[in-house]
Amino acid sequence: MPRTAVLLTAALVTMTPAGCASLSERSSAAEQTARAFLQAVAGGDGAAACGALAPETEAEIDAPCEQSILSEALTAPSPVADSRVYGQSALVSFEDDAVFLAVFRDGWRVVAAGCTPRGERPYDCRIRG
Amino acid sequence: MRRALRDNSLGLVFGLLFLIVLVAQGFAGHADFNQQQITAGLERVSLGRYLTSASFAADVAENWQSEYLQFFLYILLTTWLVQKGSPESKKPGKEGREADREQKVGRYATEDSPAWAHAGGLRRALLSNSLGLVMGLLFAGSWLAQSIAGAAAFNERQLRDLQEPVTWAEYLTEPDFWNRTLQNWQSELLAVASMVILSIYLRQRGSPESKPVGAPHDATGVEG
């Protein structure tokens, strides 16, 4: 999926990231952004994947992001086990790992991905801001 | 109009001050929230978004619940407990719900008594306990609102810190919930205890919350 398509999808499904959309709409929008991001990585589309990252997260990836992101060993999206949205943040849990997202002007963006839980400690994430 | 304003000036001024301070809290809370967003590398939110957020609701509700708890306890405990020398207390020996004659209910109700003071049964029982009941319900409602909004705000911070969110029931056992609750309760209880005890020895001329300036320190239940 091209970079602009990922962003457009995120913007369209998020509709009103300020919170006017219903919780299920926001949750579904976060899921779609997380899935589109992982699919872009799995499909070798580094530009689309980097375009879905939050600025701080993208800054943590070695330049050029478009190439480095593909070597982060992120898994292709498995079925969604659970997704939770609170305010400006969301956690989409796939069967294999999890993706954290936050709301930006153009919709949901990935804050951390390739995350596995560690009890009460923060998730261990392959990429994060 | 002018007379109506004067006759209701206390309620009006407090109502107005409440609104001014609530608006100020909204602006300060918005700036604080955005500082946290920036620190986390996230985007600022609009004032409207913040005012409808769980974070703002939790901050408002946690203070409301403690204020209503304070008045609920004060209304109830001053029925049964006394403090010698305090204008906030009944005279020692008057503890309890008092006789119908003193409370002007039933056949002792006067012409200008509320209608339900004349009535018996449930209506009189409701009127007789309405102040404590409403304060208690407002406390319970505000505390419930604090727990629900607090759980959502807590979870937003959890996600921001890449941590697992909790359910509402789990949040009720979180230190965050009890820390927010107890820090408000202790300050309210301190304020009431200070008022009860300081008003024994200190005066504020003209205030009904104080004894008359010349009243002796051991005069109880005398308001100026």
Per CB-CB distance under 8 Å, the chain B contacts of A90 are 159
The reported pLDDT for the residue numbered A16 is 41
The reported pLDDT for the residue numbered A1 is 44
| Closest alpha carbon within chain A to B43 | A104
pLDDT tens digit sequence for A75-117: 898 999 999 999 999 999 999 899 999 999 999 999 999 999 9
Answer whether residue A12 shows pLDDT above 50. Answer: no
Q: Is B147 a member of any domain?
A: yes
- B220 φ, ψ to 5°? -110, 140
> What's the CATH number where A124 sits?
3.10.450
Instruction: Residue A59: give the domain boundaries.
Output: 3-128
pLDDT tens digit sequence for B185-206: 999 999 999 999 999 999 999 9
Instruction: Residue B13: give the domain boundaries.
Output: 1-42
Which value does ipTM take for this structure? 0.84
Q: Is B102 a member of any domain?
A: no
| Structural domains counted in chain B | 2
Query: Which residue in the set B37, B40, B49 is minimally distant from A19, CB to CB?
Result: B49
Is residue B66 located within the same domain as residue B145?
Answer: yes
Is residue B22 located within the same domain as residue B91?
Answer: no
Is residue B6 located within the same domain as residue B90?
Answer: no
Q: Which residue type sits at B147?
A: S
Query: Which residue in the set B43, B55, B156 is minimally distant from A105, CB to CB?
Result: B43
Residue B46 and residue A102: Cβ atoms within 8 Å?
no
pLDDT tens digit sequence for B146-164: 999 999 999 999 999 999 9
Q: Is residue B99 classed exposed, middle or buried when 0-12, 13-18 and 19+ CB atoms within 10 A define those classes?
A: exposed
Q: How many angstroms separate the CA atoms of B88 and B77, rounded? A: 11
Answer whether residue A35 shows pLDDT above 60. Answer: yes
Is residue B76 located within the same domain as residue B139?
Answer: yes
Q: Is B183 a member of any domain?
A: yes
Local confidence band at A23 (pLDDT 50, 70, 90 cut-offs): confident
Cβ–Cβ under 8 Å, residues A90 and A26: yes
Q: Is B194 a member of any domain?
A: yes
pLDDT tens digit sequence for B125-151: 999 999 999 999 999 999 999 999 999
| Structural domains counted in chain A | 1
Partner B contacted by A60 (CB < 8 A):
no
The reported pLDDT for the residue numbered A22 is 86
Q: Which residues of B touch A (CB under 8 A)?
A: 37, 40-43, 45-46, 48-49, 52-55, 152-153, 155-156, 158-165
Is residue B140 located within the same domain as residue B87?
Answer: yes
Answer whether residue B223 shows pLDDT above 80. Answer: no
Per CB-CB distance under 8 Å, the chain A contacts of B159 are 84, 86, 89-91, 100
Among A107, A26, A118, A113, residue whose Cα is nearest residue A77: A113
pLDDT tens digit sequence for B19-68: 999 999 999 999 999 999 999 999 999 999 999 999 999 999 999 999 99
The reported pLDDT for the residue numbered B165 is 97
Partner B contacted by A102 (CB < 8 A):
yes
For the residues B95-104, what does the mean pLDDT come to?
95
Neighbouring-strand partners of residue A98? A93, A115
Per CB-CB distance under 8 Å, the chain A contacts of B49 are 18-19
Partner B contacted by A19 (CB < 8 A):
yes
The reported pLDDT for the residue numbered A20 is 57
